[in-house]
Amino acid sequence: MVGCSLAGVRAAEELRRLGFGGRLDMIGEEDHFPPFDRPPLSKEVLSGSRDITEARLRLFTDLHATMVLGRRAVALHATANEVELDDGATISYDGLVIATGTSVRRIACEGSDLAGIYYFRRAEDCAQVLQRLQAQPRVAVVGGGFIGSEVAAVCRARGLDVTIVDLLPLPMVEQVGQAAARYLLDQHVRHGITMRLGVGVAAFEGAGEVRQLRLTDGSVVAADVVIVGIGVKPETAWLQDAGLVLDNGVVCDQHCAPLGGASMVAAGDVARWFNPAYGTTMRVEHWTNAVEQAEYAAGALLGIEGREGYRSVPYFWSDQYDMHLQMAGIQGPEAVVVEGSSADRKFVMMIRDGGRDVGVLCVNWPARFQRYRRQLKDHLASAGPVTAPAPGSAS
Where do contacts with ligand FAD occur on this chain (CB under 6 A)? 2-8, 27-30, 38-39, 41-42, 72-73, 99-102, 120-121, 147, 235, 238, 268-269, 285-288, 290, 316-318
Q: Which is nearer to ligand FAD, 226 or 386 (CB)?
A: 226
52: DSSP letter: G
Report the run of H or E that residue 264 belongs to, with start and end: strand 264-266
**Shortest distance (Å) from residue 213 CB to ligand FAD:** 22
Q: Which is nearer to ligand FAD, 9 or 193 (CB)?
A: 9
What does each C-alpha distance from 294 to 254, 312, 343 come to in angstroms? 13, 12, 39
Tally helices (H) and strands (E) across the chain: 8, 25
Angle at 183 between CA 275 and CA 287, to 5 degrees: 35
Angle at 133 between CA 130 and CA 139, to 5 degrees: 120
Q: Which is nearer to ligand FAD, 253 or 269 (CB)?
A: 269
**Shortest distance (Å) from residue 327 CB to ligand FAD:** 9
Q: Which is nearer to ligand FAD, 224 or 235 (CB)?
A: 235
Q: Which is nearer to ligand FAD, 111 or 144 (CB)?
A: 144
**Shortest distance (Å) from residue 202 CB to ligand FAD:** 27
253 contact partners, CB below 8 Å, separation of at least 6? 259, 273, 274, 309, 388, 391
**Shortest distance (Å) from residue 13 CB to ligand FAD:** 13
Report the run of H or E that residue 379 belongs to, with start and end: helix 366-382
**Shortest distance (Å) from residue 252 CB to ligand FAD:** 13
Q: Hey, how many other C-beta atoms are within 10 angstroms of the C-beta on 62?
A: 8
Q: Which is nearer to ligand FAD, 72 or 182 (CB)?
A: 72
**Shortest distance (Å) from residue 103 CB to ligand FAD:** 7
